[in-house]
Structure formats: C-alpha cells, structure tokens
Amino acid sequence: MKNKQNMAAGHLFNSRLTSIISITLVLFLIGATTLMVLLTNELSVYIRENLTLSVVLKDDIKPADIQKLQKNLDACPYTNTTKYIDKETAAKELAEELGQDPTEFLGYNPLLGSIEMTLKSDYANNDSIAIIEQSLQRLPEVKEVSFQKNLIDTINKNVQRISIILMGVSALLILISYALISNTVRLSVYAKRFLIHTMKLVGATKSFIRKPFLIQGIITGLISAILAMGILSGILFVLRSKVGELLSIESMNALLISFAVMIVSGIIITFIATYLSVTRYLRLRVDDMYYI
C-alpha cells in the first residue's frame, strides 16, 4: 500500500515538475520577445544618437570663433553632443585609416577642422537633417556639412521592419504558448479526472471542485514565471559585458515590464487553461472518461 502511495506521489511530482518546466520555457520565450520589442525603440534611439553630422569649418576661422560656434551649436534644440577636431587630429585619424600620412607626400595638411555633432534621436532623420544642414551652411564659419544619408535611411527602415517582425512573432508566440500551456495543464487535470467525478458524486459544487485546481494552476504559473525571470536575468548577466553600453534606466524599465508580462501571462494562461480543463471533465459522464 505504501509503495503504491509512493508511486502515486512520485507520478504526481513528476507531472507537476514537467508542467513547471514546460510553462517556464514558454514564459521565458514570451518575456524575451517582450524585452526585444521594448528594447527595439531604445536601440534605435541609441544608434541614431551616435550618428555623426560633420560640420567642416573654413581654414581661416579663429579659435575664439570656433569656441563661440561650438557653444551656439550646443545650445541648439537638436544637438546631442559636439566635439571639435582640429586639422592635425583629423590628419592623424586619416593616416591611421589609410595606413599612410597624406601630409608626407603632399607636403601640407589638406584637411580642415570640423565640429562633429550627434543629434537627438527625434531629429536623426533625413528630413530634419536636411533642414539643419541648410541652417548650418548659412553660417559664415561653415564651409560644408556632411552626413551619411544612406546609412540613416537604412537604419530607420531596418528598425521599422524589426519592430513589425517582433510584434508578429509576439502575437504568434502568445497563441502557441496558450496551446502548449493548455495541453500541459490538461494532462495534469486528466490524471485527476476520476477524483473530480468522485467529488461530484458526494455533492460538491462545481466552484468547490474548481477552486483547488485553480489555486494550484496559479501557483504553478507563478513558480514558472519566477524561474523564467531567473533564466532571462541570468542570460542578461552573462551578456552584460557586450550590451553594457545599452543598459540604462529605460532598459531596466523594459526588463521590469517583461517580468510583469511573464507573471501576468503565467497566471492568466494557467488560470484559463485550468478552468476550461476542469470544466470539461465536470461535464463528462463516468463512462466517457475511459475513452478520453
């Protein structure tokens, strides 16, 4: 008798463990996808705010005028950062890129000083940059303004595509996750279908029969969500050296939102799946339970 009880307890434990593992993996995918969707916009902002707009200065401009111009540019609403690069520094950077110093065979430095600007993300698009370019070229100290137009177009288009793809994946993942969790919960309830029938025979109400199953389902969802959050946190901890520059207050908020989504998804999906599964077995006759 004790052996049978131990075996039954073992089967029950294995069933719950399998359910928790299955639901944990599904919730992890939901959380990871949610985090990617939320971070897509932040990644877009990060990339656009690191695009450089080069303001090339005239050769005869005085140092005092350069400082004044840079100060005025810093005060502009579209400016994120500015950095002045003199002729000598520009020549050194070009020599490093080419592997040869151009001043050696030309006999002089052909480069001009420039102010490298990064723009706020709201202005990092071709339409806004075109307006900024026109206003900068009117300044007497400025010779020309250059920026990578094709790169900006490519970044903005790719970010839009990635956002649409991730949203589609999220919607599909929610449907798949419900089906997987529903089947997992249904198998767990299936093992107790005769217990449900016995409770009906002794006069237990449907709500009374459902209650322990629903509580167990919610607990399973919470445990699975906590495990899924631990897995996601562990992966981010391992990757922190590679994505550290992107981690900010906004990304931490996105991570907290992803945690909330995992918890809510775990509770709601397991609750609904358990409710529907128990209700199904409450409606069955005892003879039908042998053919399920």
- Kindly tell me if the per-residue pLDDT of 226 is higher than 90: yes
pLDDT digits (tens, 9 = 90+) for 166-201: 778 777 877 776 777 677 777 777 777 777 778 877
pLDDT of residue 1: 45
Can you tell me which residue has the tokens 């810093």?
74
Tell whether the model's pLDDT for residue 143 goes beyond 90.
Answer: no
pLDDT over 50 (residue 91): yes
Model confidence pLDDT, tens digit, residues 228-281: 999 988 888 777 665 555 555 557 788 888 899 999 988 888 888 888 878 877
Sheet architecture: strand order including 114-119: 79-85, 114-119, 52-57, 142-146
Please state, in angstroms and rounded to a whole number, the distance separating the CA atoms of residues 244 and 65.
38
Range with the lowest mean pLDDT among 4-18, 24-38, 127-141?
4-18
- Residue with more model confidence, 1 or 59: 59
Do the Cβ atoms of 78 and 123 come closer than 8 Å? yes
Q: Check pLDDT > 50 for residue 5.
A: no
What pLDDT sits at residue 8? 40
- HSE, CB side, 13 Å, CA atoms: give it for residue 287: 0
Look at 174 and 227; give whichever has higher pLDDT. 227
Indicate whether 6 pLDDT > 70.
no
Q: What is the mean pLDDT of residues 117-145?
A: 85
Q: What is the pLDDT of residue 7?
A: 45
